[in-house]
Chain A
Amino acid sequence: MSSLFSDHLLSLMIAVPFLGMVAVAFVRGRFWVLSTTLATTVVNLVLALVVWMKFDLSEQGMQFVERVEWMPTFGIQYAVGVDGISLLLVLLTTILPPLCVLGSWDSITTRLKAFMMLILLVEGAMLVVFTALDAFLFFMLWEVTMIPMYFMIVLWGGPERVAAGMKYVIYSLTGSLLLLVGILGLSLQAGTFDILALAEHDYSPDSQFWIFLALFLGFAIKLPMLPFHTWLPDAHSEAPTAGSVLLAGVLLKMGGYGLIRLGLPIFPEVAIQFAPVLLWLSVAAILYGGYMALAQSDLKRLVAYSSVSHMGFVTLGIFSFNNEGLEGAILQMMTHGLTTGAMFLIVGQLYDRTHSREMADYGGLYQRMPRFVGILSLFAVASFGLPATSNFIGEFLILVGVSYRSFVFVVLAMGGIVLGAAYMLWMLQRVALGKARTEAARNLTDIGLREVLTLAPLVVAVLGIGLYPSPLLEAMDASVSYVVERVASAQIAP
């Protein structure tokens, strides 16, 4: 029994959300639908924690590997495994869904069952993406994540939901097509879809650039990097709370994960060649996203644009090609998921009360909602990387990493932090301080126990990681070193 459990731990973890979906379909009554979903997501979280407990920190490669032939004619397997990099993202993927369920407890009034099933579908698909060792499996579930998100936006979204959903699908499909082209390009030459084997293969020099470009664009749209970002503010602001949380919290990270898993180890030479351009693009994204956020009057849009800025830090770390930068980037992905997820949950709580996302409609919330404002302030400052919160550690590591390349990037990226402080504090000033500007804002009630419980785990995580990040860094250290060594060896032998 125990061997069955530990041998198939990952498959079990992946299966739980899908089984949960089936269970939810048969459950009746609002409360039972919600609690079945919640139970499923909590079981998943527990399983992810078990994986973390059993994880061997010294091991560089994949652990808990399971391989089953799936379509042997094409060399396609069902193959899953985790290393330190995927482990953190798996943790993130399992932390957020329970909070999403709690966050939409009252706010989803129509088609609740379908909504809960969509949450579970996204979670399951995402877990496969982050654990897949087979490029085909990776791609297939990558595609699957898009569909529930589209429905979430279009069916439960805000007033502009149809246009936003459309834009999201167009962008995502373009990205996935490029990704498909890239993956096919890889496997045609290597003759396998196994991600680990793909990294070992020598590709013809002419094709390297084009395959890298296709993969990179696919990931860059998802991440999103600078010129491909305009789907993000629309999709984020129109999606329902849980949708925004999953989108910003986990879905974006697939882009960064893809870059680290497929981009760097397979084409280190091309990545090195393009690093200067990409670093500049990252810095531009950091500053541009910050400026955009400063111009917003809509709360969700502000958070959405701040994501663009934060993802710039992620790519900045990835393309500095050293332990500090990469670990910072992975940690930043995780902490961005936590803080931005929290921000969307918080804005959602406000939206549930007044159905407005305009900052101008609030003001003086501290009087009626002291608990809410306290938590909002914490996440606002955590979001721009106030030291002693989790985001600071990520940003610090990224900046140290990139400082080995050039101090210009450090200085410019710091400009982004100042912009972050500016838009977040200005937001606080307009929303939480001063006097209430509308009748609705004057009659708000403070958040209740359920809403506090929704956010409390994130508060603990953000402060915990901020003051004691070692466990997470230790978990990914060996795996990151492997990627860094691969890039370094390519640098030495051109």
Chain B
Amino acid sequence: MSVYALIPLLPFAAALALALFGTRLEGKGHRLVIPAIAASFLLSIGAFLDVSANGAIEIHLYRLLESGRLEIDAGLFLDRLTVVVLLLVTGVSTIVQVYAARYMVGDARHSRFFALTALFTGAMTVLVMSSNLLLTFMFWEVMGLCSYLLISHYAERPAAAQAATKVFLVNAVADLGLFLGIILIFTTFETLSIPEILAQARSGTEIPTSTVTLLTLCIFVGAMGKSAQVPTHAWLPLAMEAPTPVSALIHAATMVNAGPFLLVRLSPVIVLSGPAMAVIACVGAVTALFAALVSLTQTDVKRTLAYSTISQLGFMTFLCGVGAFVAAIFHLLAHGFFKAFFFLSTGNALAGTHRRLGLAEEETDGSASGLFAWALVLSALPPLVVFSGAYQGLWLSQGFGAASAALWVVGLGTVFATAMVLFRAFTTVFRHGVSGVGPGGRVAPAPFSPRHLVGIAVMAGFAIALLLVVWRWFADFLSTAVGGMPVQQSVGPSSWVLVPLAVAGLGWVVAYARRDRGSSRPVPAWQKRLYVFFLNRGYFEEMYEVFIARPTLAAARWMWQRIDRGIIDRLVESTGALSLGVARGLGAIDIAVDHQVTSVGTGSVGIARWLGRIIDTAAISRTVDSLGRSVDASGYAARRIEPRTLQHSLLVVVLTLIAALGFFYWIAR
């Protein structure tokens, strides 16, 4: 047992305390949860320093189960990858909880909210730290459950209730892929311990490529579900039904990050299979582009944000697919911090309720230009890292030629779209207020002043420089912990860095130029069609409904009516009718038997009465009043037993049974 076991245990303890004494602590839940998670964060910092100085730590907790060939230990495994992600998870969670303490004031289900968010965070930390895939999977699902319960927080809204069910089901289907993958890993590696699996994969043990491909793809299906990759992406926008702090948690700290994390965690296994890597890259690329395009067409700010997250996740997945695992994690961290920041700074406006709509113009000057700079950097970030030199040889050495072109197209496409989306999201939230509900109706977008633009440019430049420096260190720090492409440190910053930056700037400019263009201009039909397609989010939700949900339900009802009732049950009922006829025939005998039973019953009542009287006299002779009264009561009870009541017959049955047993025992001697 190590002190690092407290990182998940503290939030769990807080959640448990709130679950048990929630009503007594109503409205005070945050006072318990914030210190717990903040302490976890401090411990994570400790773990980070410890691991970076002394190398990976393995902590054995207890033997989870042992059966046949299965031997599974619950334990924690902290290496460089773990501690970095742990910092993000606990750090962002702490900030979100502090924010939530204010946001949730007066909520009717205050305790429940904080108990669940603490559990949510705790589950994510176990998932990150687990040394065993089964434990990982267990908390992977616990996290799914938390998201379900948190999305249905405003349960009186039918939309929230439906969204929660849908989100969980989409995840449940995908998670089975992971479950299957874990069983496959066990049959292949004969262990579920993560360090052992990684060691086996690194040692170059002969494993058939087809097996690795299959199990990697199974695990990837699970990662797809949690990280909202096409076609399981539709849950993330639905999850926006949750209170804003939960969205911040899901998008930044927990939940969606589990997918890329798992891929990176198992990267030494994944790189053994080229085909699986190709599939991962393709799914990631499609997700990144599709979601970026959808997010451009959405009118709802929340949905836009959700699709922008999906797009970023797609890019992370894509990076995993091409072997740039370190870059994927770097992107994950940067995106996590950014999204948390974004949600929290816009949360009140997004809630769109009685709180202030947007920030006042004078307030936006400082904080908003910082945000704008971040937005610009974020949109350009992934390719920035990839093209900054470290991964220059990526597309050539990967062995499939199309990857080069794909990397460029996907990377820059995403950059362009993200830049536009973020620009629009910011202007909508900060400069208009939520459209249509602002004080005095819709406010015309205010153009940027030159002072603004310079400020943004300076801050963006500064941020990029900082990022590049951090990246240098980060790549060095993490490259030993993950598989995949070696990061080439010798190559200096390349001039390619400018390309994604330029594209991001272009996207921004285009968005700015089109900011208030009306729809009066005629548009070609194909463009319209494309627009409608993306506006409806590719009709994925409708397809789930029409092709999966409704047919399943219809089939279930049909089977129940036609097969279960119509065929199987009818067969039995006809047998029943038959035996009823036979029974009527035997009715006469039955009556006779009944008569006999009744007379036995009456007889034993006599015995019972007699017994009661005996006890009574014995009691009176003892003359202890209280004792006598209670025994008298029991005697009275026996006397009151009337013939032919059920308990009476039962008594007879038992007495007869005991007598019979004694009788047989006596004979047997």
Interface, chain A (partner B; CB < 8 A)? 18, 21-22, 25-28, 68-72, 78, 111, 113-114, 117-118, 121, 151, 155, 166-167, 170-171, 227, 229-231, 288, 291-292, 294-296, 322-324, 327-328, 364, 366-367, 370, 374, 377, 381, 386-388, 392-393, 396-397, 399-401, 403-404, 407, 410-411, 414, 417-418, 421-422, 425-426, 428-429, 432-435, 466, 468-470, 473-474, 477
* Nearest-neighbor residue (CB-CB) of B177 within chain A: A414
Report yes or no: A151 in contact with B646, Cβ–Cβ below 8 A: yes
Known: A324-B68, A327-B67. A166 touches B647 (CB 8 A): no
List, in ascending order, chain B residues with CB within 8 A of A151's CB.
646
Interface of B is mostly: helix
Q: Are B67 and A421 in contact (CB under 8 A)?
A: no
A-B contact pairs, 17 of them (CB 8 A): A69-B669, A111-B647, A114-B650, A167-B572, A171-B572, A292-B560, A328-B67, A370-B112, A387-B140, A387-B142, A411-B180, A418-B173, A418-B176, A421-B168, A422-B552, A425-B169, A429-B162
| Contacting residue for A386 out of B145, B568, B579, CB 8 A | B145
**Further pairs besides A18-B658, A167-B572, A435-B158: 9, Cβ < 8 Å:** A25-B641, A227-B568, A295-B553, A323-B68, A324-B70, A327-B67, A399-B183, A403-B187, A434-B158
Interchain CA distance A392-B145 in the complex, whole Å: 14
Q: Report A361 CB to chain B, min CB distance, Å.
A: 17
Asked whether A426 lies within 8 Å of B165 as measured between CB atoms, the reply is yes
Task: Please give me the residue from chain A that is nearest to B667 by CB atom.
Answer: A71
Residues of A within 8 A of B555 (CB): 291
CA distance A198 to B444 in the complex (A): 90
Judge whether B439 is part of the interface by a CB distance below 8 angstroms.
no
B156 to A294, Cβ gap below 8 A?
A: no
Would B560 and A114 count as touching, CB distance under 8 A?
no
For residue B406, CB closer than 8 A to chain A, the reply is no
Contact B665 A68 (CB under 8 A): yes
Question: Which residues of B in the span 126-141 have a Cβ within 8 Å of any Cβ on A?
Answer: 134, 137-141
- The interface bits of chain B over 234-253 (1 if a CB of A lies within 8 angstroms of the residue's CB, else 0) are 00000000000000000000
Q: Which residues of A contact B633 (CB under 8 A)?
A: 28
Q: Are B169's CB and A418's CB within 8 A?
A: yes
Within 8 A of A (CB), among B83-125: 109, 112
A residues within 8 A CB of B561?
295
Given A114-B645, A425-B168, A433-B152, verify A381-B67 contact (CB < 8 Å): no
Contact with A along B49-90 (1 / 0, CB 8 A): 000000000000011111111100000000000000000000
- The answer to whether B636 and A296 have CB atoms under 8 Å apart is no
Give chain B's interface residues, CB within 8 Å of chain A.
Answer: 19, 62-70, 109, 112, 134, 137-142, 145, 148-149, 152, 155-156, 158, 160-162, 164-165, 168-169, 172-173, 176, 179-180, 183-184, 186-187, 552-553, 555-557, 559-561, 564, 568-569, 572-573, 575-576, 579, 633-634, 636-638, 640-641, 645-647, 650-651, 654-655, 657-658, 661, 664-665, 667-669
In the complex, the answer to whether A291 meets B650 with C-beta atoms within 8 Å is no
A327 touches B68 (CB 8 A): yes
A117 contacts B647, CB within 8 Å?
yes
Residue of A with least CB distance to B148: A425
CB pair B165–A425 under 8 Å, yes or no, is: yes
Q: Across the interface, do A70 and B183 meet the contact criterion of CB distance under 8 Å?
A: no
- Asked if B139 and A403 make an inter-chain contact with CB atoms under 8 angstroms apart, the answer reads no
A158, chain B: closest CB distance, angstroms = 18
Please name all residues of chain A whose beta carbon is closer than 8 Å to the beta carbon of B576 when the two chains form the complex. 166-167, 170
Q: Is A400 a contact of B70 with CB atoms below 8 Å?
A: yes
User: CB-CB < 8 A to B560: which residues of A?
Assistant: 291-292, 295-296
| Bound CA–CA A400/B179 (angstroms) | 10
Q: Is A170 a contact partner of B575 (Cβ separation < 8 A)?
A: yes
Task: List, in ascending order, chain B residues with CB within 8 A of A25's CB.
Answer: 637-638, 641, 647, 650-651
Complex Cα–Cα for A467 and B112 (A): 22
Q: Which residues of B contact A171 (CB under 8 A)?
A: 572
Cα of A227 to Cα of B557 in the assembled complex, Å:
18
- State the majority secondary structure of interface residues on A: helix
Q: Do A435 and B156 have beta carbons less than 8 Å apart?
A: yes
- How many Å lie between the Cα of A469 and that of B134 in the bound state? 13
Contacts A118-B650, A434-B155 given: A470-B552 contact, CB under 8 Å?
no
Q: Which residue of B lies closest to A414 (CB)?
A: B176
Residue in B168, B573, B634, B645 whose beta carbon sits within 8 Å of that of A26 in the complex: B634
Q: Which of B109, B142, B148, B179 contacts A414 (CB 8 A)?
A: B179
Q: Which of B19, B68, B634 contacts A28 (CB 8 A)?
A: B634
Q: Are A295 and B664 in contact (CB under 8 A)?
A: no
Inter-chain CA distance A323–B250, complex, in Å, is: 39
Cβ of A115 to closest chain B Cβ, rounded Å: 9
Q: How far is the CA of A229 from the CA of B565 in the complex (A)?
A: 11
Name the A residues within 8 Å of B669 (CB-CB).
69
Contact present for A396 and B634 (CB under 8 Å): no
The answer to whether B168 touches A414 (Cβ under 8 A) is: no
From A294, A364, A381, give the contact of B552 (CB < 8 A): A294
Which interface residue of B164, B564, B669 has the most chain A CB atoms within 10 A? B564
Asked whether A26 lies within 8 Å of B638 as measured between CB atoms, the reply is yes
Contacts of B160 in A (CB 8 A): 433
Contact for A27 among B62, B568, B575, B634, CB less than 8 A? B634
Distance of B185 from chain A, by nearest CB (Å): 11
User: CA–CA, A136 to B137, complex, Å?
Assistant: 46
Question: What B residues does A170 contact at CB under 8 A?
Answer: 572, 575-576, 579
**CB-defined contacts of A388 to chain B, threshold 8 Å:** 138-139, 141-142
- Give the docked Cα–Cα distance between A111 and B634 (Å): 18
Q: Say yes or no: A387 contacts B138, CB within 8 Å.
A: yes
Q: Which residues of A contact B65 (CB under 8 A)?
A: 393, 397, 469-470, 473
B64 touches A295 (CB 8 A): no
Partner of B180, one of A230, A322, A410: A410
Contacts of A417 in B (CB 8 A): 172, 176
B165 contacts A386, CB within 8 Å? no
Cβ distance A39 to chain B, nearest Cβ, rounded Å: 15
